Amino acid sequence: MQEGHYSFGFSATPGGGPSHIHRELAGTTLPREPALVVLMAPCNGLTTCRTLDQAAREFGQLLAYVCGRWPKVCVMDFPPRLSADVEIQTLLRQAYHRIAVGMGIRYFRVAHKFPRSKGHLWARDGVSTVSLFEVDHFNDCCFI
């Protein structure tokens, strides 16, 4: 595609887990059909769900909804959170990956692009990543 022919839209549900994102997307009308939908795996499943199984189940429902609504979908892993247990995050990523692959959806891992030792990548809250949405870093994550 020639330079300048990309358009990019973004929807966020701050603090929302998979079921919250599902409800928000269901109420969203897009001005045109996207060529690709990149679903960022929701790390808030760590806090909005009681168990990993519940978070995985809700993610599966969200992904099924997104795939039923748009023809081309992929999933991008969530960046690590400094404020959450590393093992729980790993288990959640593995569950999300299994679900996506089981549905035939590509799952892009990005956690390795955010080493926990590089604190400048996070906002002071230890949750939000500063650099994910800087254009160069985002492109690096998307074009693996």
pLDDT band at 1 (very low <50, low <70, confident <90, very high): very low
Distance between CA atoms of residues 127 and 79, nearest Å: 9
Type of residue found at 91 = L
Q: What stretch of H or E contains 76?
A: strand 73-76
pLDDT band at 139 (very low <50, low <70, confident <90, very high): low
What are the sequence ranges of the domains in the chain? 34-142
Q: Is the predicted pLDDT of residue 49 greater than 90, yes or no?
A: no
Q: Is the predicted pLDDT of residue 24 greater than 70, yes or no?
A: yes
pLDDT band at 4 (very low <50, low <70, confident <90, very high): low
Mean pLDDT over the full length of the chain: 80
Q: Is the predicted pLDDT of residue 11 greater than 70, yes or no?
A: yes
Which of the two residues, 97 and 119, has the higher pLDDT score? Answer: 97
CATH code of the domain made up of 34-142 = 3.40.50.1110
pLDDT band at 33 (very low <50, low <70, confident <90, very high): confident
DSSP 8-state symbol, 123? -
